[in-house]
Amino acid sequence: MNDNFDLAKIAAALEGLEETIIFKLIDRAQFRHNPTVYEKGRSGFTGTHNQSLFSLRIRFQEKMDAQFGRFCLPEERPFCTRLPASRRDLAIAPTGLALDNPDVVNLGPKILAAYLDLVPLICRHGEDGHYGSSVEHDVYAVQAIARRIHYGSLYVAESKYRSDRKKYEDMMRAHDAAGVLSLLTRREIEERIIARIREKVTMTQARVNRTTRHVVDPDVILTFYRDTIIPLTKEGEVLYLLNRRASEKAVL
Amino acid sequence: MNDNFDLAKIAAALEGLEETIIFKLIDRAQFRHNPTVYEKGRSGFTGTHNQSLFSLRIRFQEKMDAQFGRFCLPEERPFCTRLPASRRDLAIAPTGLALDNPDVVNLGPKILAAYLDLVPLICRHGEDGHYGSSVEHDVYAVQAIARRIHYGSLYVAESKYRSDRKKYEDMMRAHDAAGVLSLLTRREIEERIIARIREKVTMTQARVNRTTRHVVDPDVILTFYRDTIIPLTKEGEVLYLLNRRASEKAVL
C-alpha cells in the first residue's frame, strides 16, 4: 500500500524540516545583511549582465542540482527556468500525486520575495564583506524553505482530498478556491506549529555564546512561519487541488 | 593595525564555527548512511567514469565555488584539483599570512577520509534512497569542517608565532616538527573545546521530537573534534610554520 498520504507521516516529515530551516537561517545570520549581494549589476562577476550575486548563485546551484536530478521530484520546484536535464538515472517510485505538471504548484517567486524581506530581520545590518558565504547560505535556506512549502502543498492536499473526496470534489468542480482553502485549514494545527517554532528557535540558541554567535529573535522566525510558510503552503494546496486530475490515475 | 592575529578573536571565530559544523552534521544525519553514494561507479550519472555520487557532487560544487572566488581565500582550500579560475572581481585585503602557496596547508584528503568514517556513526545504517540530499549535506558538512581546520591552521599558527618568535624560529630552522607541535599545543584549551562541543550537541537536540528527527550522539561529534578536527588543525599549524616564509613580508 502507498502510505505517502498518511497525514501523520506527512506532518512528521514537515515537523522534521523545521530544525533544518531554523539551522540554515541561524547559519545565514552569522553574516551581516550584506545588501550588496542582492543588488543587480553589483556581483563583480565577469560575463554576466545586470544580475545580483544572489541570483547568480541560485542559477549556478540549480544548474548543478538539475543535473543531479533534484527537480525530478515533484516537491523540489526550482526558482529558475531553462535548467539542464537530469544526468542521473533515477528510479523514482510513483508518488500517487495526480498532477499533470508539477510546476503548476511552484511558489518560488513568492518564496524568494518573502525570504529577501526576512534576511535583514535575522541578520545584523550593514556589510561585512562575506558576500560569497552570505549567498551560499541564502541558497541553502531558501531551498529548505521551498522544499517544506512544496512538499506540504502536494502531499497534505492529496491526503486531505483522499480523506474527504466528496466535499473537495464539489468545490474543485466549482473552482471554489476560497471554499477549498477554508476546508483544508486547521487553525489549531497552525497554532501548534507556531508555538513549536518559538520553542525550537529558543532552545537551539539557549546556551549560545553571544560574543561569538549572532542570536536570531525567535519571534522573527515564528512570524515568518505564520505569515509566509504556512499561508504559502496552503496556497500551494489550493493550487494542487484546483489542478488535480479528475482521473484516479496518478501521473507523478 | 592588522588584528587578524588577535588570538582571542581567532578563538571566537573558531568557536562560532562549532554550531555551524554541528548543525550541518545533524542535518546530514536526518538521512540514512546510504553507502551507495560513496561507491565508485554507482552514481547513475551519465558521462562519468567510475566515480561515486559523493565525489561527483564535491567536484560540481567546487567548480561552482571556484568561479565564485571561494578558493581565493587562504582558509578555503579545495578538495579537488584542476578547478576553474574565479570569475569574481574580489578585493581581498592582505591577510598578513606569510606563505608562498596556501595549498601547502591543505588537509583535504585527511578530512575527507575522516568524514567518511564519521557518516555511519551519525546516521542510521542502511539506505533510504535519498541519495541527492545525502551528498548535498555531505558537501555542506565537509566544507564547514575544512574551513574550521584550515582557518585555525593558518591564523592560530601565525598568531602563536608572533607571540613567541624566537622560540618558534629556532625550531622552524631545525625543521623540528615535534617541537613545534609541542610548543603550540594547549591541552587545557582543547579540553575546554571538547566539553563545549558535548554541551552544544546536547543542548541543540534537547527538546527534539525523536519520532520526527534522528538524534546524534554527542559523544560521536565530541570524539570527531578530539580525534580529527583538533589534531588536523594542529597538523596544519605545524605545516604552516615549517613552510612559513622567513621574510617579514606577508604574501597572502
Q: Is the pLDDT reported for residue B1 higher than 80?
A: no
Q: Give the per-residue pLDDT at A49.
A: 81
Radius of gyration of chain B (CA): 19
Name the residue among B13, B43, B203 with its Cβ closest to that of A207. B203
Say if the Cβ atoms of A213 and B43 lie within 8 Å: no
Phi, psi at B88, each rounded to 5° = -100, 145
In tens, the pLDDT along A123-179 reads: 999 999 999 999 999 999 999 999 999 999 999 999 999 999 999 999 999 999 999
Q: Which of A217-226, B118-127, B199-208, B213-222 has the lowest mean pLDDT?
A: B199-208
Question: How many other CB atoms are found less than 10 A from the CB of residue B54?
Answer: 25
Q: Give the per-residue pLDDT at B247.
A: 63
Say if the Cβ atoms of B45 and A204 lie within 8 Å: no
The shortest C-alpha distance from B91 to chain A (Å) reads: 9
Say if the Cβ atoms of A45 and B88 lie within 8 Å: yes
* Angstrom distance (rounded) from CA A169 to CA A184: 13
Q: Give the per-residue pLDDT at B92.
A: 82
Rounded mean pLDDT, B192-221: 95
Rounded mean pLDDT, B121-133: 97
| Contact with chain A for residue B177, Cβ under 8 A | no
Nearest chain A residue to B13, by CA: A212
Question: How many other CB atoms are found less than 10 A from the CB of residue B177?
Answer: 15
Q: Give the per-residue pLDDT at A207.
A: 83
Q: Give the per-residue pLDDT at B93.
A: 84
Rounded mean pLDDT, B159-175: 95
| Contact with chain B for residue A195, Cβ under 8 A | no
Both ends of chain B: CA-CA distance in Å?
16
Nearest chain B residue to A206, by CA: B203
Q: Which residues make Cβ contacts (< 8 Å) with residue A203, sequence separation at least 6?
A: B203, B204, B206, B207
Using CA of residue A218, residue A219, residue A221, residue A226, what is the dihedral sign?
positive
Q: Which residues make Cβ contacts (< 8 Å) with residue A69, sequence separation at least 6?
A: A86, A87, A88, A90, B132
Rounded mean pLDDT, B209-221: 96
* Angstrom distance (rounded) from CA A235 to CA A212: 39
Q: Give the per-residue pLDDT at B246.
A: 74
Q: Give the per-residue pLDDT at A47.
A: 86
- Which residues of A are less than 8 Å from B140 in CB distance? 140
| Contact with chain A for residue B206, Cβ under 8 A | yes
pLDDT beneath 50: ranges in chain A? 1
In the stretch 39-68 of chain A, residues with CB closer than 8 A to chain B read: 43-47, 53, 57, 60-61, 64-65, 67-68
The shortest C-alpha distance from A231 to chain B (Å) reads: 22
The shortest C-alpha distance from B170 to chain A (Å) reads: 35
The shortest C-alpha distance from B77 to chain A (Å) reads: 14
Nearest chain A residue to B45, by CA: A88
- Which residues of B are less than 8 Å from A8 in CB distance? none
Say if the Cβ atoms of B213 and A64 lie within 8 Å: no
The shortest C-alpha distance from B80 to chain A (Å) reads: 17
* ipTM score: 0.94
CB A132 within 8 A of CB A209: no
